[in-house]
Amino acid sequence: MDPISICLLAAGLVKQIQAGCELYKQAKESFVEIKRTADDVIAIGKEAHGFWNQLLGFFRSKPKAQVAKSNGKSKKSDYVSVSETQVKVDIVKNLTEFFRLQEQLAAHIREEEEKSKSVYDPDQNLMESALKRVMAQQEMDNLVVQIRECMVYQSPPEMGALYSEVFSMREKIEEEQTQARLKQEAKNRQELWLRKEEQRNFQLKLAYLVATTTFLLYLWLWLLFVSQLRKT
């Protein structure tokens, strides 16, 4: 997949993350509004309860039990009616896919750089290659900024905390993977050097064997010629 296609897919994921953050924000605001409404109902109930207590003192205990029971059910219903977990799960899924595309782009750029260093391509358009790399990297960096602004500055605090934790863990894993990649690349270079050394040694041994065989054949022919010369 070329860098431009990777960036287009990443941009689509950012749109989904932004939509998820907006949905989460609306869910939180609706939850707060519902909670406030329920609290208002409780307050009104308490006021009415006090009025009737003054008017009808001998009914004080019965209305109290009825109002508490009704408010308890309403509050429980309000809390259960709003769910935020699925929104977070969807955002994390999109973040995971975004990170995968970001690493894919970085791997593609590294591969192109290694190829450019080791393989000469006379037909390569240098300006086109440079533009694709620069534009893709700039676009990916811009998308990361959009995600940070959306989750940290335009969403409830929990979303900012989620962003910080996820990106902190991502940086840790990225550092671990970078070290692992460098070790693997060093190991691959060592194995390549060993294979080349083995091939060189084999070629030296083969050359030595051919030289020795040629010398022995020449010596045998010389001895045969001397023997025939003596007989004659």
- The amino acid at residue 25 is K
Count the helices and strands in the chain (H runs, E runs): 5, 0
pTM of this structure: 0.54
Residues 7 and 102: their CA atoms lie apart, in Å, by 8
pLDDT at residue 18 in the model: 92
Residues 167 and 173: their CA atoms lie apart, in Å, by 10
Average pLDDT over residues 121-140: 77
Average pLDDT over residues 187-207: 89
Residues 144 and 167: their CA atoms lie apart, in Å, by 10
* SS3 state at 155: coil
Average pLDDT over residues 41-54: 51
- Reply yes or no on whether the pLDDT at 159 is more than 80: yes
pLDDT at residue 176 in the model: 87
- Reply yes or no on whether the pLDDT at 31 is more than 80: no
Average pLDDT over residues 83-107: 86
The distance from CA 108 to its chain's CA centroid, rounded to whole angstroms, is 15
Per the prediction, the chain carries an average pLDDT of 76
- Reply yes or no on whether the pLDDT at 3 is more than 60: yes
Q: What's the pLDDT tens digit per position in 7-27?
A: 889 999 999 999 988 888 887
Q: For helices 157-231 and 85-118, give the axis angle rounded to 10 degrees.
A: 30
pLDDT at residue 27 in the model: 78
pLDDT at residue 111 in the model: 82
pLDDT at residue 155 in the model: 86
pLDDT at residue 169 in the model: 83
* SS3 state at 2: coil
More confident residue, 119 or 107: 107
Which residue bears the tokens 């358009």?
A: 125
More confident residue, 70 or 146: 146
pLDDT at residue 80 in the model: 35
